Structure 1
């Protein structure tokens, strides 16, 4: 979620919008997909390469069309797309971090999928956060491709050692704090919790669900005004700040910028912490027995940050119908169960949370079921306002956690709103 979108993308997008290929002739007319042996190009960022290739491999084995996947380093990917847009040579399909979807849709980099998506009967069965993110001025430009969510991860062995029931995770953030404090009392090199205190994206991903679960919000519906100077946001920052000040949160939390976040949990020395759902298997590979629970609000509720990638048809593609055949297939029962669930991924389909693979592990069902409950922030200028290391959000985070919290949230709200409204 940290890739920077170059200014060139904004300058070049207008030329693409003018030549967008929503109806590229006979092969692209109608709403059905076409499987006639077309060669399709798909671009993705490195973070999503393995899933994109798994989709393509399974699709190619059962279809005449053939999809070739090319990935680029996360930090280089936006510039690559901008260059292709300027040359009117976008790939047939390209994915994007879901928080950038509104920006790419507004710039006309993807073809309009509204009729096809509606006719597919799948629109109401897939991740609603992704659907909203890929919508611009009432039209659909992208569909869900991968899902990554934030959950509460806790060390079952440390729970037992602290006298806590490992089968009863916290149901409120107040309980979360109590559990973290109890585990921290074990002493030694054990800490109650951990967070990315110098990572804007980490804080978004793990703190914002507590705001949503408490009934608050971070942005208005159009992504034009920040709403971070709220009681719900203040309460969440105050809770984590208290845990840090008390020494319950590991000291390294203050400078954690992301790279060593996972390693802290893999050490087996952290009691409970919010993090990406995909970390469950990575932590257990290190021999740490983990439990999973939803992220809650201060007094209850549950939510999650719906991350991952969206995907759409390049606006300059002349193979829209063939590209749609692939996209529609990726959302099918077959793809979601046999490609995603079989490999312990999170299905983009809300009706497939429990399937023949996930049903064997209640923790996976818990994770999958959150797809229907979470949110994806919607804003055209999301990156510049929140994820860019120079964004006003990171300064707000640092102030709210380690400085004058009230001033940081008030000043941050003003600065972020100004950034969101930049044309």
Structure 2
């Protein structure tokens, strides 16, 4: 059973504690309405496109309506905190799946366990999102948007380097060989690089390195998210492989200082041979680019992915629970998932629809959707401070492991555990 928080583990949102103590965690109910109901919804800018599509499609086909407010991503957590403290949360709000346990711990979402149980496809909902939206056996959220980490490779650069353009890497070691070959064969002018990564970005490391650990059957934390395992053999091997790529200059000259905002911008320019990328960027790639997609693998094989994105739930103070649930349950229905999400090449929230009629047109999309059932989303109540904060212990550990003194990893791993347990 997961421990409950004494205080929220998100930077700048301590006001949530007061909100929870004020009874925000009640079961909630629906206020009867004589006519159509308009519910309010908040989402962060990072998932604006997908959310707007869903809301528009719902509003055009239902009597009840959804009024959507999009909030800048960096301001989202403080806005939720302030609204919770004032008991002015919207009827429905989405949240980065990593932070959902913080909100459920504080009682901000309504318990929808029975409602979910009535869905005929309840066991087909994205398992990682469902896991993080569950607390003490009760379910509070549904998957909203999904973003997975995968390996992209540039088929034209593969062919020019003498590699098979139709065969992407099956292991992390093979990934490194491919990247090194491209660097050695095509990198003389400094415009083409074997690979790239966000070397000064904590979130980039967890999104792209951790799946190699999971693919090898290992873990980066214990189940409760209170102890770091980032000094264990598999993670050490993953770091070693990436360190060698950097030392061979196969990663490009700016990888060490890349803080995140531009780390995905080089591959679409045709400058990178093979690299980990968010699956959502596939539809944004230049139409003329020949791109292969393959799962992230461990040093010697396996496959996994970091299942990111947002979950969504009904706020515990909503007076329109029935109308809110009508909308939320529709977003994971066949109609919404296929005709709205799949039609636009978005990753689906259900594992049973991976091969739908739209995805089937592109085997890469089918592969991405199939990974939802194989990937993981790490659970830790203090994830933000520990792994995403640029001043946190994880980024220091990763940078020492890849660029600095690897002998410091054990000490820094202990600091990560200490941060997780605060």
Q: What TM-score do you get using the length of structure 1 for normalisation?
A: 0.94
State the match for 2:56 in structure 1: 57
Q: Secondary structure at the match of 2:276?
A: strand
5+ long unaligned stretches in structure 2:
1-8
Does the aligned pair in 1 maintain the 2:268–2:285 contact within 8 Å? yes
| Distance in 1 between residues matched to 2:24 and 2:271, nearest whole Å | 55
SS in 2 for 1:76: helix
Verify the 8 A CA contact 1:341 1:357 in the aligned structure 2.
yes
Instruction: Write the distance in 2 (CA, Å) between the matches of 1:157 and 1:374.
Output: 29
Q: In 2, are the aligned partners of 1:36 and 1:322 still within 8 Å (CA)?
A: no
Displacement of 1:393: 0.9
Partner of 2:147: helix, strand, or coil? strand
Pick from 3, 20, 24 the counterpart of residue 29 of structure 2: 24
Give yes or no for contact 2:25–2:110 (8 Å, CA) kept in 1. Answer: yes
Q: Which runs of 5+ in 1 are unaligned?
A: 28-33
How far apart are 1:7 and its partner, in Å? 3.8
Give the structure 2 partner of residue 297 of structure 1. 298
Distance 1:360 1:392 in 2: 44
In the TM superposition, what is the alpha-carbon distance from 1:25 to its structure 2 partner? 5.6
CA displacement 1:270-311 (0-9 Å, x = unmatched): 1000010111222325x4321100000011100000000000
Distance (Å, rounded) in 2 between the aligned partners of 1:225 and 1:36: 52
Structure 2 distance, partners of 1:121, 1:406, is 52
**Residue 184 of structure 2 is aligned to residue 182 of structure 1:** no
User: Structure 1 CA distance, aligned partners of 2:249 and 2:34?
Assistant: 59
- 2: distance between equivalents of 1:7 and 1:93? 19
Matched ranges for 1:81-230 at <5 A: 81-185=80-184, 186-187=186-187, 188=189, 189-230=191-232
Partner of 1:356: 357
Shift of 1:388: 1.4
CA contact (8 A) 1:14 1:108 kept: yes
SS of the equivalent of 1:58 reads: helix
User: What is the Cα deviation at residue 21 of structure 1?
Assistant: 3.9
CA contact (8 A) 1:98 1:133 kept: yes
Note closer, same or farther for the CA distance 1:224–1:290 as it changes in structure 2 (3 Å cut): same
Tell me the alpha carbon deviations over residues 179-224 of structure 1, each in whole angstroms, 9 at most, x when there is no partner: 1111111222211110100000011100000000011111111112
* Kept in 1: contact 2:129–2:377 (CA 8 A): yes
> Which residue does 2:5 correspond to in 1?
none
Q: Is the 8 A contact 1:98 1:309 kept in 2?
A: yes
Q: Does 1:15 align with 2:21?
A: yes
**What secondary structure sits across from 1:302 in the alignment?**
strand
Q: In 1, Cα distance between the equivalents of 2:103 and 2:213?
A: 27
- How far did 1:167 drift? 1.0
CA contact (8 A) 2:17 2:106 kept: no
Aligned counterpart, 1:30:
none
C-alpha distance in 2, partners of 1:15/1:195?
42
Contact 2:16 2:84 in 1 (8 A): no
* Aligned counterpart, 1:374: 375
Match of 1:73 in 2: 72
Q: Structure 2 length as normaliser, TM-score?
A: 0.94
Q: 257, 262, 271: which is aligned to 2:273? A: 271
Cα shift at 1:407: 1.6
